[in-house]
Copies of this chain bind each other. A is one copy, B any other.
Amino acid sequence: MPRYDGVSRSVIKRLPRYYRFLGELLHKDVTRISSRELAQLMQLTASQIRQDLNCFGGFGQQGYGYNVAALHREIGNILGLENATPIILVGAGNLGRTLARHMKFEYDGFRLIGIFDSDPALVGQGVRGLSISGMENLADFCEEKKPRAAILCIPRESAQKTVELLIQNGIRCFWNFTHFDINLSFEDVIVENVHLGDSLMTLCYHINAADGESVSGA
């Protein structure tokens, strides 16, 4: 397994976007692309692209550019997409069920292997070929199936307790849709937060800032 020390968070955050654009080029049967062309397409600088890619190794060829298929594959490997990390969904309310149905987990490097909820009304219901289990089955399930990560779609109030339980059962990686700050309460966890509310508020700011501008000229 490759390891890339000291690659900055900013670079890593850009990798999925590279992967997406290269996938599209591949789909359009483009075989080679220069950093200059790709930069134009993605609205980045060619420098940044070369700098980013060279964090992981020299994937290009002088005078030629980059082979689209090879680069696409490389970035997929860097992201670890082929590993199909086993993940469970915790909280099968509206949002949870929608994510289970909507996400292409296989494409994004995961395999959804279990769904849990504390609400008896939901237990037994089928989602994407999986049956929702009660929380009391979590320990046994983890013992047997060893999920590596969890999607958190639970109410904020039960977050602390639920994360504690998950950590006890060997899960330290979280795709977190709650407003609970996991890394403030637990150490050595890997957390990717999706704060939909924050995102919407940011949009709100930009809309209102734009209004302010037009009023005062600029």
Taking a contact as CB atoms under 8 Å apart, the answer to whether A203 and B149 are in contact is: yes
Chain A 72-121 residues near chain B, CB threshold 8 A: 78-81, 83, 85, 94-95, 98-99, 101-105, 107-110
Check: A126 CB closer than 8 A to any chain B CB: no
Check: A19 CB closer than 8 A to any chain B CB: yes
User: How many angstroms between the C-alpha atoms of A2 and B81 in the bound complex?
Assistant: 45
- Least Cβ–Cβ distance between A61 and chain B, in angstroms: 25
Chain A 146-196 residues near chain B, CB threshold 8 A: 148-149, 173, 175, 179, 183-184, 190, 192, 194-196
Check: A65 CB closer than 8 A to any chain B CB: no
Number of interface residues of A (CB under 8 A): 66
Taking a contact as CB atoms under 8 Å apart, the answer to whether A200 and B101 are in contact is: no
Taking a contact as CB atoms under 8 Å apart, the answer to whether A80 and B1 are in contact is: no
- Least Cβ–Cβ distance between A29 and chain B, in angstroms: 18
- Least Cβ–Cβ distance between A9 and chain B, in angstroms: 9
- Least Cβ–Cβ distance between A173 and chain B, in angstroms: 5
- Least Cβ–Cβ distance between A188 and chain B, in angstroms: 9
Check: A20 CB closer than 8 A to any chain B CB: yes
Closest to A80 in B: B208
Of the candidates A109, A200, A207, the one having the most CB atoms from chain B within 10 angstroms of its own CB is A200
Taking a contact as CB atoms under 8 Å apart, the answer to whether B218 and A206 are in contact is: no
User: How many angstroms between the C-alpha atoms of A102 and B94 in the bound complex?
Assistant: 8
User: How many angstroms between the C-alpha atoms of A201 and B99 in the bound complex?
Assistant: 15
Taking a contact as CB atoms under 8 Å apart, the answer to whether B192 and A109 are in contact is: no
- Partner of A204 from B5, B43, B109, B184 at Cβ < 8 Å: B109
Check: A137 CB closer than 8 A to any chain B CB: no
Check: A16 CB closer than 8 A to any chain B CB: yes
